[in-house]
Amino acid sequence: MSQTIELYDTTLRDGAQASGITFTVEDRFKIARALDEFGIHYIEGGWPGSNKTEELFFKRAKSELHLKNAKLVAFGSTRYKKYRAHNDPNLKAILNSGVDTACIFGKSWDLHVIYALKCSLKENLDMIRDSISYLRRKGLKVIYDAEHFFDGFKKNKEYAIQTIKAAIESGAFNITLCDTNGGTLPDELQEIILYVFKELSCFKNSYSLGIHAHNDNECAVANTVIAVKNGIKLVQGTINGYGERCGNANLCSIIPNLQLKCKIKCVNDKSMKFLTELSRYISEIANVIPNDHAPYVGYSAFAHKAGIHVSAISRHTSTYEHIDPSIVGNERRIIISELAGKSTIALKSKQLKLNFAYSKKSIEKIIQVIKNLEHQGYQFEDADGSFTLVATKALNKYKPCFDLKGFRVVVEKNPDTGKMYSEAIIKVAVDNKIEHTAAEGDGPVNALDNALRKALVKFYPQLKNVSLTDFKVRVINAARGTAAKVKVTIESRDEMDSWGTVGVSENIIEASWQALVDAIEYKLLKDKRNYKKLGGLKKNA
């Protein structure tokens, strides 16, 4: 990998402009530290003159944010036309931020100069020169974002080139070409970049070019890769492609595309193994549900459902996988469904370390049970726990850990406070010992969960370490209205791993109960040491 590029992350600014995303100061610190640890070269902290949150972030960052690998960058614009650089409040905020690298944007499209800035084309060039020269005199390194460069080039290429020449002449070490509206196609972009390099040849090695692509035509990643292959040295983007409108170029796709496919160095190989973790960590902070189908890092990026596909990858993984998922910290998933064949069941059982004799008869028996349940509305794609229980029951290897004798759920409304009140009363038997208990909850399902755990914890203290991390409800046959079946999927976690369980019924409480019981049974089953006798998982599998 002789060619290398630098990564410029703008999740904290451009990413925060996505609908529904807001970062607190503490969120920003967490994200910045994660990006730094991963190996990002530049982290754009935000626009210090734009709002109190970003101003406070930079203020605290001076003493609290100790980056090991990355440089913190302050963002802003060229000076306003009514100011000179030395008294422009935006540039002053950048200087006060305490960074040693600034990124300022200016207008490259004459349309914006005339209608947005309402100034002459010459005045805009003066604003670019004055702003960059001033920051350079103050000791800052400057990246110049040529906003709307590609649209500007298409309309008036002579002027667009003038703007970036002005930035280089004023001391910017990098000129980043921005496809701000995200409408440029890869072939157009390549042609323009080659033209720009030719026009800037007189500057020799005094600058480098960068790329900043938006995803409005679904080409941001492709445009970025094409740009790098044609000489671009700095890549701007966001984690998970977060950004305004359709988002920014997705670094979680760009990094492995460049490093694994193009052999262009972005980060060290050890960092690459944490790409999936980084993606999910930042989605958690952003409070955004991860895109399961995202390339490389998505939960389903290496998921196999069709029986013929599973059969093929069981022989050679390259048949249906373009890389080894572990390289980016992801993992292969074998999905159990009505499409499952013998290879699917065998490979899934092996993946879950189930102690089954892989005979043709036993596998066919499991397939038949799975298909019957899926016909009723069950789905086992995200329910490995329930699949394990179904398989052990189908082969008569299942021994229940407790027997339900009955339960009752009460939902009332407090007339004084107006709040809903839920209580569950439950009776279970463990080894012929009856436990009868009650518990309250925020809702009927939470009350049931609390009551079941309370009843069982004296027999199985390890249940104290189990927590419910996700709860999803989906209507199966919506045409039946309130009488429709619902599918409840629950994700649970202990100190070692997580697992999914599923329940289906016309009654949402019953469906939830099925999923809850499966979650508890699976935990107890996988903890059993007498593996061969009871059937199940090895401890801590």
Q: Which two tokens stand for residue 468?
A: 């419910």
* Cβ–Cβ < 8 Å for 183, 144: no
| Bridge partner list, 437 | 426
Q: In terms of Cα–Cα distance, which of 87, 88, 7, 101 is closest to 45?
A: 101
Q: Band of the pLDDT at 471, cuts 50, 70, 90?
A: confident
Give the pLDDT confidence score for residue 327 in this predicted structure. Answer: 95
Q: pLDDT value at position 477?
A: 67
pLDDT band at 476 (very low <50, low <70, confident <90, very high): confident
pLDDT (0 to 100) of residue 40: 98
Which tens digits make up the pLDDT trace of 144-160? 999 999 999 999 999 99
pLDDT higher than threshold 90 for residue 364:
no
pLDDT tier at 539 (50, 70, 90 boundaries)?
Answer: very low
What type of residue is 294?
A
Segment 81-126, tens digit of pLDDT: 999 999 999 999 999 999 999 999 999 999 999 999 999 999 999 9
Among 84, 95, 114, 193, smallest CA distance to 149 is for 193
> Is the predicted pLDDT of residue 398 greater than 80, yes or no?
no
Distance separating alpha carbons of residues 181 and 190, to the nearest angstrom: 17
Q: Mean per-residue pLDDT for 427-451?
A: 89
Alpha helices in 376-426 (DSSP H): 384-394
Say what the pLDDT of residue 321 is.
83
Residue 333 has pLDDT above 90, yes or no: no
pLDDT band at 346 (very low <50, low <70, confident <90, very high): low
pLDDT of residue 478: 62
Region of residue 219 (phi > 0: left; psi between -120 and 50: alpha; otherwise: beta):
alpha
Write the single-letter amino acid at 154.
Answer: K
Each residue's pLDDT tens digit, 442-468: 888 888 888 998 999 889 988 888 888
Q: Which fold has domain 6-267?
A: TIM Barrel (3.20.20)
Is residue 536's pLDDT more than 50?
no
Residue 521 corresponds to which tokens in the numbers above?
A: 């049974």
CB count within 10 Å of CB 538 equals 14
pLDDT of residue 363: 74
The segment with the largest mean pLDDT, out of 158-162, 373-377, 523-527, is 158-162
Q: Any idea where the domains of the chain sit in the sequence? A: 6-267, 303-394, 402-459
**Rounded average pLDDT over 44-55:** 91
Which pLDDT score is estimated for 361? Answer: 74
How many Cα atoms sit within 13 Å of 253 on the Cβ side?
Answer: 21
- Alpha carbon distance 442, 12 (integer Å): 35
> Over 70: is that where the pLDDT of 531 sits?
no
Q: Please state at what angle helix 186-199 crosses helix 149-169, rounded to 10 degrees.
A: 20
Q: How would residue 481 be classed by pLDDT, with cut points 50, 70 and 90?
A: low
User: Which of 36-40, 57-61, 273-277, 475-479 comes out lowest in average pLDDT?
Assistant: 475-479
The band of 540, judged by pLDDT with boundaries at 50, 70 and 90, is very low
Amino acid 533: pLDDT: 36
Higher pLDDT among residues 361 and 292, named by residue: 292
Greater pLDDT, 524 or 211: 211
Question: Which tops the pLDDT comparison, 342 or 494?
Answer: 494
pLDDT of residue 538: 32
Q: Is the pLDDT of residue 240 over 90?
A: yes
CA–CA distance, 406 with 428 (Å, rounded to integer): 7
Three-state SS for 159-176 is HHHHHHHHHHHCCCCEEE
126: tokens are 């003066």
Q: Is the pLDDT of residue 34 over 50?
A: yes
Over 90: is that where the pLDDT of 372 sits? no
Mean pLDDT of 325-329: 93
**Per-residue pLDDT, 535:** 36
pLDDT of residue 507: 87
Percent of the chain with pLDDT over 90: 55
The confidence band for 406, taking pLDDT boundaries of 50, 70 and 90, is: confident
Whole-number pLDDT of residue 168: 97
Q: Which CATH class is domain 402-459?
A: alpha beta
- Tell me the average pLDDT of the chain: 87
pLDDT band for position 529 (cuts 50, 70, 90): very low
The predicted model gives 475-487 an average pLDDT of 72
Residue of 205 and 246 predicted with greater confidence: 246
Q: What is the pLDDT of residue 373?
A: 82
Average pLDDT value for residue range 201-212: 92
Please report the pLDDT score of residue 441 as a whole number.
Answer: 86
Buried b (16+ CB within 10 A) or exposed e, 83-107: bebeebebbbbbbebebebbbbbbb
